[in-house]
Every structure is written in structure tokens, then in C-alpha cells.
Amino acid sequence: MKKILFTGSGVAIVTPFTDTGIDFPKLAELIEFQIANDTDALIICGTTGESSTMPDAEHKSAIKFAVDTVAGRIPVIAGTGSNDTHHAIELSQYAQSVGADGLLLVSPYYNKTTQKGLVLHFKMIAEAVNLPIILYNVPSRTGMNIAPASYKELSAIENIVAVKEANASIAQAMETAALCGDDLTLYTGNDDMIVPMLSIGGKGVISVVANILPKQTHDMVTKYLAGDVKGAMDLQLHMFDLINNLFIEVNPIPVKTAMNLMGMQVGKLRMPLCDMSDKNLEVLKNSMVQYGLKLQ
């Protein structure tokens, strides 16, 4: 059985920005908030972190800062995927050099590829580093799906250890689990499917909602894996409306908005992401209040 990078809730942490760059003091504050609330892993420079708007120097500085700030207390997993294989290798090698614990590699977007190309892409990156790799399947953003048969082939590579599955098909996740067994750990990338993914052998979530509910997201996984299925499901269902409304507009627009409404002061979104519509903002506020969160 391959090493499991983490079990529980890994937060896909937002990146707080100023007008000129990353707000590093605020990022440190957010990291400490996550660790204090039992988050099990930190994912830096993912989709929720707006990594697609970061020049390489900034992207690298965020990874190094996260590694240095966490200082070994929980795993730090760096988003280093790209639609350019050689660019992904360069970012991945940098993350390894500064002490990241693992890598999150999204499938190629825009130019896309075939299933054969996917296998070759991930294999080339894996061969260029020694770190454990989590593959990231998010067809709604990339325009392509990693097929279970491709997962099976990739799971034979020693340092490809897991997948963040953000395809809404639980049937596909089940097929992947059946094909790959212990050679590929499953994490859901969808906060509304944490318990369903755990029910087929998943080990946790790479989460957006954990930015505002870190303890509750951690507890959901912990309860389920300890045998308290009802307790986990109660948490999942209680969060359900709020989770839906955190995706009422493109992520991370709503979650950053929610954090600012809670007084966390994480700054603006980077264009082309923009402020929420007034209508959707009211929906989000109402769901936060209904959940029990205090707005400032």
C-alpha cells in the first residue's frame, strides 16, 4: 500500500491579495487559523488560491511561504499543474526543493490532450520529482476527464499516490476505486460529496468550505472514519445549503466574499474574477446566517 499523504480535510486555501501582490501576513494568519482548527493538510496555489493569475515568481513565493509557515505541523501540498508539461515539471521541482510534502497536478486545460497524452504528461512529471503526487480531475474547468482506465495505468507509478476527484460522478469514482484499490487514494474535490466519497473508501476532501468551516469539515471525516456515520451525515446535511451557495458563482468568488463578510479581510479577487451580483450576495448571506455564522 502506498503512503497516504493525509486523512481528513485538506483546505484548498484562498490567497489573500493586496493591490500589489500577496498579503503574506494575512496568509500566515489564515494558515494558523486552519491549523488551530484541526485541518489535516494545506493545499497552496490551487484553483481556490487563484493560482492561474499568479506569475511564476509569485506562485513560487506562495509555496515557499506556506512551507516555512507550516513548519512541518501538517502536510503542505503545492498546486504545480499546468497545461504545459515542462512548465509543470519546473514548478514541481521548485516545490520539492523548498520542502513541500506533495504536489497537486491538474489535468491539462484548454489545449487538453488524449487519454494517452494524459498518462504521458503525468508520467513525465512523476519521473522528474520524488514527491508524492495527487492527480486533480476537474472536467468542468479543464474540458476533459481522466478515465478510470487511465487512473489504473497511472497508479502503477510509485509516486502517483492519490486523486482529487471533482467529477460529480460517484459511479466513476467507484470504478476507479475498484480498478486501483490501495494503489490510489481517493479524495473528493466536491464539498457536497464528502460522505459519499468516504462510503466507497475515500480518505477525505480537498475542500473549499474548510476556508470558513475548518473544524466542522475535519470532524465530518473523522466521525465517519471512526464509525459515526450518522454524525458525519448530520454535518454534511447541515452544511449542504451553504456549500451549494459557495458555488453559486465561480469559485473562489463566493468563499472569498464569505470570508470578508465574516471579517477575515482576505482582500479582493483578481480579474477576471469580480464581485458577486447583488442577488447572489443576498443568497449567500442568508445561507451563512441560516447556518449560524456571524456576519460583520
Res 167: pLDDT: 87
In the 8-state DSSP scheme, what is residue 210?
A: G
Burial of 72 (0-12, 13-18, 19+ CB in 10 A): exposed
Query: What whole-number distance in Å separates Cα of residue 48 and Cα of residue 11?
Result: 9
Res 3: pLDDT: 85
- Exposure of 50 in the CB half-sphere (CA atoms within 13 A): 24
Q: Which domains does the chain have, with CATH numbers?
A: 8-226 (3.20.20.70)
Give me the amino acid identity at 139.
P
Those residues whose C-beta lies under 8 Å from the C-beta of residue 166, and which sit 6 or more positions away, are: 136, 137, 138, 139, 140, 188, 189, 190
Res 2: pLDDT: 80
Decide if 164 is catalytic: yes
Res 132: pLDDT: 98
Catalytically annotated residue among 26, 60, 94, 136: 136
Other beta carbons within 10 Å of 273? 16
Catalytically annotated residue among 26, 60, 164, 223: 164
- Exposure of 63 in the CB half-sphere (CA atoms within 13 A): 28
Omega of the bond leading into 252 within 30 degrees of 0 (cis)? yes
Res 259: pLDDT: 98
Query: What whole-number distance in Å separates Cα of residue 273 and Cα of residue 48?
Result: 12
Chain CA centroid to CA 201, Å: 18
Query: What whole-number distance in Å separates Cα of residue 265 and Cα of residue 144?
Result: 35
pLDDT of the chain along its 296 residues, tens only? 688 999 999 999 999 999 999 999 999 999 999 999 999 999 999 999 999 999 999 999 999 999 999 999 999 999 999 999 999 999 999 999 999 999 999 999 999 999 999 999 999 999 999 999 999 999 999 999 999 999 999 999 999 999 999 988 899 999 999 999 999 999 999 999 999 999 999 999 999 999 999 999 999 999 999 999 999 999 999 999 999 999 999 999 999 999 999 999 999 999 999 999 999 999 999 999 999 999 98
Omega of the bond leading into 25 within 30 degrees of 0 (cis)? no
Write out the E strands in the chain: 8-12, 41-44, 76-79, 102-106, 133-137, 160-165, 185-188, 204-207
Helix (H, G, I), strand (E, B) or coil at 12: strand
Residue for cell digits 460522505?
195
Give me the amino acid identity at 35.
I
Res 71: pLDDT: 98
